């Protein structure tokens, strides 16, 4: 890894990426990013995210691509590492509720329906 020390130092500045994860990223991608036409091509090759299939406002479930297993694992470790970092933006995004609090639960309280309202 000695010839790649400047690249490792740059990867180490990314939030959540430590030295071990940076080494895995560099080892699996080869260090030469010119083989990927864009960031989207790199993400598609790595396969960490499921596809997006939406039709007529309905979101269909899709599977995660069978990308590079070692790179996916390293990126997952980086994501969880950043989610555990205190007072960071990504931790706040990770810990936020999935739905607004007004929409959680079984619905309306008992006795409150559309036809008759109790005040």
- Split into its structural domains, the chain has a count of 1
Task: Establish if 65 belongs to a structural domain.
Answer: yes
Q: Is the pLDDT of residue 104 over 60?
A: no
Task: Establish if 46 belongs to a structural domain.
Answer: yes
Cβ(74)–Cβ(21) under 8 Å? yes
Domain interval for residue 74: 2-103
Task: Establish if 28 belongs to a structural domain.
Answer: yes
Q: What is the pLDDT of residues 31-53, one digit of tens each?
A: 788 888 998 888 888 887 776 67
Residues pairing with 50 in the sheet:
64
Task: Establish if 108 belongs to a structural domain.
Answer: no
Give the pLDDT score at 119.
53
pTM for this model (two decimals): 0.63
Burial readout 100-116 (b: 16 or more C-beta within 10 A, e: otherwise): eeeeeeeeeeeeeeeee
Task: Establish if 7 belongs to a structural domain.
Answer: yes
Q: What is the pLDDT of residues 59-78, one digit of tens each?
A: 776 777 788 888 888 888 88
């Amino acid at each position: 890894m000695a010839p790649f020390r400047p690249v490792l130092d740059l990867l180490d500045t990314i939030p959540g990426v430590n030295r071990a994860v940076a080494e895995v990223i560099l080892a699996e991608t080869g260090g030469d990013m010119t083989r990927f036409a864009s960031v989207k091509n790199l993400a598609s090759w790595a396969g960490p995210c499921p596809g997006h299939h939406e039709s007529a406002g309905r979101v269909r479930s899709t599977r995660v691509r069978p990308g590079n297993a070692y790179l996916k694992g390293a990126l997952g470790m980086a994501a969880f590492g950043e989610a555990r970092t205190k007072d960071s933006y990504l931790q706040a995004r990770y810990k936020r509720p999935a739905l607004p609090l007004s929409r959680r639960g079984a619905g309306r309280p008992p006795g409150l329906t559309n036809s008759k309202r109790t005040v």
